[in-house]
């Protein structure tokens, strides 16, 4: 390890994701092990501008690994988008003697970190914290596993009602630009069809599939809809299907339930691995990179790639989802 730091900071930004607290805990305890002081920036970039910065100890991050949300809070910051806002943020960091930052968030967080670092020469390391699982350079993001388990639990409960009343249910999950939650929860819950932003699913195909299911006396069906799919909201799709078939349709929007709750063991372990590795990346001289996991190995991806490269869907997963739903 070639680079020395006396003080670093950690913060969470963008949408909260289960496991963020485990990542903060790992950063703090790993840094302290290497005799580095750690400061928590509260409310993301907004708190950085306001100077809402406090020193963190091992005790300060005790008893948080199991908690959902983020103890450091999060906020959107329009002011940070301005040159003046970023200058004020840099002033606050320098006031506290902070030499580098570890940012936990998604594409927007990484974009802000890269711009800020280029202007003020403060190294940043990014950790992918988003339930959407849409960050290039990591097979999984912090919070994704918890989100899909929450979605599957909800869908399983809806299935009981769908079966009891012989109804067709449309369940809308989060995913404006990425359909990973819909794909994984749809496969895990045995959905009859899945609507994703990345693929086109003609309404005629769904109706044909429903008719085939009816011929083999299937009494109910579940359709999982990512909110950003090309056919509209779950309400809109359900209305179109109801107008063209005899199915009695119902719609459930899971919403922000997917962001909350205690993180799964997998998210806690992933967040701990990434937080630990982020500190060591700084000590190894890395800057302006995202830390992820690829094929169960820690991977380092330049911010430019993590931000601008699209994370492709696995074609085999898409094909499997189609075949298993027949």
Alpha helices in the chain (DSSP H): 20-33, 44-50, 83-95, 107-120, 144-165, 180-188, 203-215, 234-244, 265-283, 303-308, 315-324
- The b-or-e profile of 112-144 (16+ CB within 10 A means b, else e) is bbbebbeeeebbbbbbbbbbbbbbbbbbbbbbb
Query: Is residue 229 a contact partner of residue 216, using CB atoms and an 8 Å limit?
Result: no
Query: What's the farthest any 2 CA atoms get from each other in the chain?
Result: 71
3-state helix, strand, coil in the chain (%, to 5): 45, 20, 35
Q: Quick check: is 16 catalytic?
A: no
Strands 100-105 and 221-226: unpaired
Rounded to whole angstroms, how far apart are CA atoms 93 and 325?
53
b/e per residue, 269-306, with b = 16+ CB within 10 A?
ebbbbbbbbbbbbbbeebbbbbbbbeeeebebbbbeeb
Phi, psi of 68, deg, nearest 5 = -80, 180
Give me the count of residues in the chain.
326
Sheet holding 221-226, edge to edge: 193-195, 221-226, 168-173, 249-253
Given the residues 16, 52, 132, 267, the one annotated as active site: 132
CB atoms within 10 A of CB 308: 12
- Which residues does the annotation mark as catalytic? 132
């Amino acid at each position: 390890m070639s680079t020395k730091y006396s003080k670093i900071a950690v913060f969470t930004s963008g949408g909260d994701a289960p496991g963020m607290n485990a990542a903060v805990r790992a950063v703090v305890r790993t840094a302290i092990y290497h005799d580095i002081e750690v400061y928590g920036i509260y409310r993301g970039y907004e708190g950085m501008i306001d100077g809402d910065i406090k020193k963190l100890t091992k005790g300060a991050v005790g008893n948080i690994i199991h908690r959902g949300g983020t103890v450091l809070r999060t906020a959107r910051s329009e002011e940070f988008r301005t040159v003046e806002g970023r200058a004020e943020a840099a002033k606050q960091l320098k006031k506290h003697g902070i030499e580098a930052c570890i940012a936990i968030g998604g594409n927007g967080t990484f974009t802000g970190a890269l711009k800020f670092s280029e202007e003020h020469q403060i190294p940043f390391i990014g950790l992918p914290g988003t339930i959407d699982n849409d960050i290039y350079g990591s097979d999984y993001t912090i919070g994704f596993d918890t989100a899909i388990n929450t979605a599957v639990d909800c869908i399983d409960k809806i299935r009981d009602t769908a079966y009891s009343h012989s109804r067709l249910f449309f369940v809308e999950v989060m995913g404006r630009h990425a359909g990973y939650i819909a794909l994984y929860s749809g496969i895990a819950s045995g959905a009859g069809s899945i609507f994703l932003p990345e693929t086109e699913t003609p309404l005629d195909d769904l109706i044909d599939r429903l008719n085939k299911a009816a011929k083999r006396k299937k009494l109910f069906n579940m359709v999982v809809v990512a909110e950003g799919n090309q056919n509209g909201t779950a309400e809109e799709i359900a209305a179109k299907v109801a107008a063209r078939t005899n199915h009695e349709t119902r719609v459930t929007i899971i919403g922000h339930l997917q962001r909350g709750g205690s993180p799964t063991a997998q998210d806690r372990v992933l967040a701990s691995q990434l937080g630990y590795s982020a500190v060591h990346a700084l000590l190894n001289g890395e800057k302006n990179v995202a830390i992820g996991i690829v094929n169960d190995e820690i991977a380092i991806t330049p911010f430019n790639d993590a931000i601008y490269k699209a994370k492709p869907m696995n074609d085999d997963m898409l094909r499997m989802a189609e075949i298993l739903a027949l």
